[in-house]
Amino acid sequence: MKFTDGYWQLRPGVSVLRPGTVESVEVEPDGRALTVFAPIGRITGRGDTLNRPVITVRFFSPAPGVAGVTIGHHSGGLPKQPRFAIADRTDHPVRVTVTGLSARLTTGELTVRVALTGPWRVDFLRGDRLVTSSSERSIGAVTDAEGHTFVHERLALGVGETIYGLGERFGAYVKNGQTVDIWNADGGTASEQAYKNVPFYLSGAGYGVFVDHPEHVSFEVGSEVVSQTQFSVPGQSLTYYLFDGPTPKDVLRRYTALTGRPARVPAWSYGLWLSTSFTTSYDEKTVTEFIDGMSERDLPLSVFHFDCFWMRQFHWVDFIWDPATFPDPEGMLRRLHERGLKVCVWINPYIAQRSYLFEEGRQAGYLVRNPDGSIWQWDKWQAGMALVDFTNPAAVRWYAGKLKVLLDMGVDCFKTDFGERIPTEVVWHDGSDPQRMHNYYSYLYNKTVFELLEAERGPGEAVLFARSATAGGQQFPVHWGGDCESTFVAMAESLRGGLSLAASGFGYWSHDIGGFEGTPDPAVFKRWIAFGLLSSHSRLHGSGSYRVPWAYDDEAVDVLRRFTRLKLSLIPYLAAAAEEAHRDGVPVMRPMIVEFPDDPATAYLDRQYMLGPDLLVAPVMSADGEVTYYLPAGTWTHLMTGAQVTGPGWITEKHGFDSVPVLARPGAVIPFGTVTDRPDYLWADGVRLRLYAPAPGQRTRVRVPAPDDGPGAEFEVYHQDGTATVELVAGDSAGYHCEVVRVAG
């Protein structure tokens, strides 16, 4: 939210209280936090303490290398729920010192330095180096013309500093110059709205900021004050955390340690998913024809997804198979399993009035209510739609119990659609603040479903296909990009959304191959296939048209076969990247700046990405196959052809539909599996370790996980004089092979 009229003036009716000099500092008894009291204006005598508001700022550390800041005006308000779940630690060293000139809090390499003389100033330092700062006009306790109150903070932007993240955002990848509202909305991928809003940003200067508020948070990234990032929340206080780097990976590790790391997902989920699509006409005969068509064309398929109309129209959701379309759901599910397939079904958290669950939920108190006690309803999406109240533990058990029936029937996972259109003029069972519940609802919804799957299938065997999220939602993967058009432009905006989500701590991400709205022309569909199969998860899905490749042309079948098999051969590599996401919070898809923070050319790259640490992918977004991408320094090797290209520099190439720039990093050791018709196999058995342009004397450790969370295998690869030797140093592998691919020089 913007409060100023240019640099000098406030907007009409707006008043702001800002801290002046520091009046006093109190160190907490345990010596791990300090509170600063800063009246507005200067205190020159006792009379100046009268009628003088005081801004109170507390500094603390919830984890090593993380500084917490709470800015408050009036503190007498009632506590509001919900709150983000924060892993607050008290076992790490924190040093607090106060001298005549400054008060300091040090955690890890990060120091917060508060000036005790002169105008208000707080510096965040890594050693002696300034990371960012809060200065004289940064903090404000604001009252607008209608009497609403807000608190804002502004942190300095350095010369050339770039800002990323804030959830899955489809506009400009670099957020500088933007106003971003953290407010979940069902707005598709072609607007400034977002399904997944996360009040966290990652700075290219090597730090991150998380605003610990589930309600509406407004960010002005160099858009109100060009030299600062402003963030504001309604009310009388604001809490945020600043995460030290120095690298983007370090920031993401610290942030996800505080808000939650992505769970492991089952091996089978990395294979190809095929959907009925949304409004298409389908029954078991249609589904069987699709699956037979894939098999006849030698197209490996891992998961079949049933979208909304597996249930009766106007009944969403009642979790009952439409008897006219699917008279034998148990038998159908059994037959699909016999073909080696997993099954996903679409759900959402809304209850149509016509669903039998509406009256059941109303009687039991499981649906969100209006202030007068009546059930909140509207006619958008479903007639008379109500909303499950996940703040009620009994409602959680009720909803999960309905899903358990489907699991017992043979369903393997759920597409948790929607969860964004959450009303704010309602009453929640546990008294939660409606503004805070608007975004947080997505967390409770996906948590309910994911934890049921973990309880029923076991840890590592739960997976969702989720659309809505907020901070912490990364714990319940996988997330997909939502409703995009079927164009090259939409392909690019989808990638920007995925890059922004990755910079927000989400480890896995997918999107609708070919786009959702409309029917892609064959060129769009075939180009999107390569992008989709070079993502952590891959799904063919659309709105009113099927996404089976033979509906487009024969070449689409060949392209899908080629890239599906390429991905399946890369599962040992992708699984290792997924382990890093689960263990450290570093995503599978990585913005270029995450892997190459010291290369200034990577700051604005939004049409390419790193898939894991060692593969660069540049999706082709043109019918004629021309693509331009940037290579960091070194000799890179095209994975599909073995051709080598040397960076740093921009490369322009032309690719057929069966090709895409996917290049191995200099010195990379990529493990390839020997199975290319399914993702769930013993990845280390017979694995082929390929070295790409290694340096003489290079010694590399490579871990290949096991699909069942077993020990896997670890290899040490040594290169000298154009040959490579490999040794199994941990775990188990029934045979392996190593080769050098085109040594540079």
Task: Give the active site residues.
Answer: 417, 420, 483
Which of 419, 467, 471, 421 has the alpha carbon at shortest distance from 87? 471
Classify 596 as helix, strand or coil. Answer: coil
Cα–Cα distance measured from residue 549 to residue 181, given in angstroms and rounded to the nearest whole number: 38
Cα–Cα distance measured from residue 710 to residue 725, given in angstroms and rounded to the nearest whole number: 25
Which of 509, 673, 660 has the alpha carbon at shortest distance from 590? 509
Angle, alpha carbons 55-60-62 (nearest 5°): 140
Phi and psi at residue 304, in whole multiples of 5°? -110, 130
CA-CA distances (angstroms) from residue 418 to 346, 393, 395, 445, 599? Answer: 10, 21, 18, 10, 39
Residue keyed to tokens 């400054």: 102
Residue 456: is it exposed, middle or buried by C-beta count within 10 angstroms (0-12/13-18/19+)?
A: middle
CB atoms within 10 A of CB 572: 28
Residue 440, C-beta contacts closer than 8 angstroms, at least 6 positions apart: 82, 84, 214, 432, 470
Cα–Cα distance measured from residue 247 to residue 206, given in angstroms and rounded to the nearest whole number: 5
Cα–Cα distance measured from residue 21 to residue 149, given in angstroms and rounded to the nearest whole number: 23
Token reading at 647: 């960076």
Q: Tell me if 29 sits within 8 A of 10, measured CB to CB.
A: no
Beta-bridge partner residues of 342: 303
Written as one string, the DSSP assignment of 552-589 is T-HHHHHHHHHHHHHHHHTHHHHHHHHHHHHHH---SE
Backbone region of residue 659 per phi and psi (left: phi > 0; alpha: psi in -120 to 50; beta: other values) = beta
CA-CA distances (angstroms) from residue 16 to 12, 120, 144, 530, 691? Answer: 12, 15, 9, 52, 60
Cα–Cα distance measured from residue 618 to residue 531, given in angstroms and rounded to the nearest whole number: 8
Classify 735 as helix, strand or coil. Answer: coil
Angle, alpha carbons 690-691-693 (nearest 5°): 145
